[in-house]
Structure 1
Amino acid sequence: MRIYLFCLLISVFPAAAHAVIAQQEMRPGIPANADYLIGEPGKPAVLLLHGFLQTRDFPTVATLTRGLQDAGYTVLAPTLSLNIPNRAQSLACEAVHRHSLDDDVAEIGYWVGWLKSHGHRSIVLVGHSFGSLQLLAYLSLKPDAAVKAYIGTSLIEAQIGTTARAALIAQLEDRVLGKQRALVNQPLSFCRKYPSTPEGLLSYVRWDQARLLAALRQSPVSVKLIMGDQDNVMKRGWLKALALVQVPMVIVNGANHFMDGAHEFDLLEHTLKSLDTIQPVPSR
């Protein structure tokens, strides 16, 4: 896999630190990019993933990236390609979606490998919203041994509106088995209309609350959740369900799904506290 690095001069960072843009070809003709902010060698590297259809420039992620780097952590913040070459903008709900969760998970794996190839042997996965789900999906498939911990913020399942999930899954499975290629238009996450291939939609729809809870219980690495008690995106009872899994969780009072405003500082503080407990492996 070809890897390109383009050095950038960013004046807002300390002189001792610097940033680059990393690029990898995820699939033939589909390059994807990530911000690589280099921190102190004695700390674990953070792979920070954005939410559904967004980019690494989404405010919650961009603010957390800067805060982590200022605290001395190396941060790799990719933008998932969603099968669009060099994607740099959020993807509209109404666009034709030819990506899948399998593609997303594969790209996470590529970026973990990229960090390892650059000497990082202790990696922490940090996600926001749907990015937290995608990272859990990666962890459920024999993650690289360099991954030491997971921090999920505003973790949420693949929401599908009022549709009965079991019936939708059965319908999509029939389409896949019948090799039907016609697009399916179905609510997904915050999208009221989400036209997608049957295979792609099915890969997301299967990740309901039960599957998320199981992935948390079975995580091969340490888990920490950071949630807001004023998050009106999650369904009623979700915080109680998460509490029953008995994984470490911080509930930020007054914080919404995006942890914006004054709660940006709470998100950064709790993330840093979690990172401080992780013993790094010396970089090569």
Structure 2
Amino acid sequence: MYKILLNTTALLLLTSQPLFAQEVTTKHENLTLNAQMQFAEGSSFADGVVLITHGTLAHNKMELIETLQLLLSDSGLNSLAINLSLGINDRHGMYDCQVPHKHKHTDAINEIGAWTNWLKNQGAQNLVLMGHSRGGNQTAWFATNNPTQIKAQVLLAPATWTDEGEKNNYQQRYSQSLTNILSQVEKANKDTWLKDTNFIYCANSQVKAGAFLNYYQADERFNTPFLLNDIKIPTLVISASEDKTVSDLPKMLSQVSNSQVEHRIIEGADHYFRDLYADEVIELVVEFLENQE
């Protein structure tokens, strides 16, 4: 059972339903989580909500997320853009690499669940999940485990993964062998703090052993197309033709055989769907959701 906490601003939002985003909060595992709730004109929770999850070490006010919320509102769709806590109470903005890392990739799955429950407690119907990059993978992971809780999902340039690719990327970024580091970390207590450790995008960081293993131990579920083979809900995957971050996504998706999964490519867009490409994203999303009616 999740304890719900609404701040004063959120209470005003529930009654007046303004057209701009306002912050709401909820409690989860002794942490305060925050998110931006935005209603379309004349809409309420009962009209449905799109729950948006950002990418790696990012936040809900990055350009892409804010743009998506505005465009969704213009299209008559409510949205809730969440900030993953990454182990920090009431976190805002990009994660500071100087802060010790105790968060896990899988923490996000539970936090998406907390916000899903929050929305349902507000009377939200027809929940749709949306996730970008790593957040797309975490969204698909949640949907795989909880297919009855949501109506559909939209994945924007979701993360891909292979064991070989992960090791090569780590070697190229840090000139270190991930295999050797994992063999050492696996012998440590999961609560041990690792010092001067290269972790995700943060060089020479302080990281808990359990967190390092959660992000780097081989697990096919890190690969979003792997999850989509068995997904039970309507899923729209949007990739970008100029995406250098998950450039193998279209090839991997071509190997997914599931009638629930639809793949669309936006020509010219990069990983962040900048400028007018975000409009194309919303056009595809609106069309997709109309087909679910």
Above 0.5 in TM-score? yes
The answer on 1:273 being equivalent to 2:287 is: yes
Question: Counterparts of 2:197 and 2:38 in 1: how far apart (Å)?
Answer: 38
The answer on 1:175 being equivalent to 2:188 is: yes
The answer on 1:198 being equivalent to 2:201 is: no
The answer on 1:52 being equivalent to 2:56 is: yes
Query: Which of the numbers 198, 201, 215 marks the counterpart of 1:186?
Result: 198
TM-score, normalised relative to structure 1: 0.84
Structure 1 letter corresponding to 2:25:
Q
CA contact (8 A) 1:183 1:198 kept: no
Aligned to 1:282: none
Q: CA deviation at 1:225?
A: 0.5
Aligned to 2:174: none
The answer on 1:249 being equivalent to 2:250 is: no
1:118-150 Cα deviation digits (max 9, x unpaired): 11131110011111011122223x316231111
Alignment partner of 2:128: what SS?
Answer: strand
Quick one: structure 1 residues 127 and 31, their matched pair in 2 at CA, closer, same or farther if it must change by over 3 Å?
Answer: same
Aligned to 2:26: 24
Question: Counterparts of 1:144 and 1:249 in 2: how far apart (Å)?
Answer: 19
Question: Counterparts of 2:33 and 2:48 in 1: how far apart (Å)?
Answer: 23
Q: Which runs of 5+ in 2 are unaligned?
A: 172-176
Question: Counterparts of 1:123 and 1:172 in 2: how far apart (Å)?
Answer: 39
Q: CA deviation at 1:7?
A: 2.6
TM-score, normalised relative to structure 2: 0.81
The answer on 1:229 being equivalent to 2:241 is: yes
Number of equivalenced pairs: 271
1:1-284 correspondence to structure 2 within 5 Å: 1-7=3-9, 17=19, 19-28=21-30, 30-39=31-40, 40-41=43-44, 43-140=47-144, 142-143=145-146, 145-157=148-160, 159=166, 161-163=169-171, 169-176=182-189, 180-183=192-195, 185-188=197-200, 190-192=201-203, 195-205=206-216, 206-207=218-219, 211-235=223-247, 237-246=248-257, 247-279=261-293
Structure number having the greater helix percentage = 2
Alignment partner of 2:255: what SS?
Answer: helix
1:212-264 Cα deviation digits (max 9, x unpaired): 322111223221100101011124x3321122114311111111000002212
Q: Which runs of 5+ in 1 are unaligned?
A: 280-284
Identity value in percent: 22
Whose RCO is larger (CA < 8 A, sep 6+)? 1
